[in-house]
Amino acid sequence: MSNSPSRSVIVTGASGGIGRAVAERLAADGMSVLVHYAGNPATAEEVVAGITASGGTATSFGGDVADETAMANLFEHATTIFGGIDVVVNAAGIMPLAPVATMDLETFDRVQRTNVRGTFVVSQLAARSVRAGGAIINFSTSVTRLQLPTYGAYAMSKGAVEALTLILARELRGKDVTVNVVAPGPTATPLFFEGKPQEVIDRIAGANPMERLGTPQDIAETTAFLAGPARWVNGQVIYTNGGAA
């Protein structure tokens, strides 16, 4: 299966970080891209402009991933503009960190709303919309295995994402739509660097055998594989972390 210009993708959280790299990578593969953003239309338009300048096709659309009406409007927009939806990559997420003993429950609820409910809302719409031969790709984290302190609420939310995604893969039997999870390790994004002193960043970067942080482009490569040629990979969690445990 080749990625022709007629194939289209929705990428949530595509205005920065991993989501932006995924949008740019899939556009380079010839896909028409809907660049979703939560709150910053200017950065989303930068992504669209970059894709367009490189000869690709892109549009932007805003909305809260946990709001079913906003996301229904987004899927309708993508269908209207592109004529259908072939791939959905749900890269939107938030990562406030605190020990379990001290995290306030308002922050906990916010993490679960965006990461769990948001993934469910987008996955539900994707399950109804993605055409045969397509793919649904959600995002987890290698922290579900690495068990790093202060990541409790975040890792908990991503464990739920994995469970949902792997069940959805089985529910879509006969639809010719693959459903997988990408679980990055520590990746050099603003979300990762926020609030971390340099010594902590250096320690985390040195924890895997490659002795560096991942880049958004590293994660985008795995995503592009699942979005395109990987038709026999289904119902899997792909740990993309340089060999971290």
Q: What is the pLDDT of residues 33-70, one digit of tens each?
A: 999 999 899 999 999 999 999 999 999 999 999 999 99
- Which of 2-16, 29-43, 71-85, 129-143 is the least confident region? 2-16
Predicted confidence (pLDDT) at residue 115 exceeds the cutoff of 80: yes
Give the span between the Cα atoms of 225 and 1, in whole angstroms: 12
**DSSP conformation class of 195:** T
Give the span between the Cα atoms of 168 and 166, in whole angstroms: 5
Mean pLDDT, range 76-98, rounded to an integer: 97
- Residues taking part in catalysis: 154
Domains of the chain: residue spans and CATH: 8-240 (3.40.50.720)
Asked if 200 and 193 touch (Cβ cutoff 8 Å), the reply is no
Give the span between the Cα atoms of 44 and 158, in whole angstroms: 25
CA 21 from centre of chain: 10
Q: Mean of the per-residue pLDDT values for the chain?
A: 95
Predicted confidence (pLDDT) at residue 190 exceeds the cutoff of 90: no
Give the span between the Cα atoms of 86 and 120, in whole angstroms: 18
What is the percentage of the chain residues whose pLDDT exceeds 90? 90
What is the percentage of the chain residues whose pLDDT exceeds 70? 98
Predicted confidence (pLDDT) at residue 245 exceeds the cutoff of 80: no
**What is the sign of the dihedral through the CA atoms of 34, 122, 93 and 151?**
negative
Q: What share of the chain is helix, strand, coil (3-state, %, to 5)?
A: 45, 20, 35
Q: What is the pLDDT of residues 135-160, one digit of tens each?
A: 999 999 999 998 889 999 999 999 99
Residue with tokens 């040195």: 206
The verdict on pTM exceeding 0.85 is yes
Residue 4: its pLDDT value, please?
A: 45
Residue with tokens 């922050």: 107
Mean pLDDT, range 209-234, rounded to an integer: 97
Predicted confidence (pLDDT) at residue 3 exceeds the cutoff of 70: no
Predicted confidence (pLDDT) at residue 195 exceeds the cutoff of 90: no
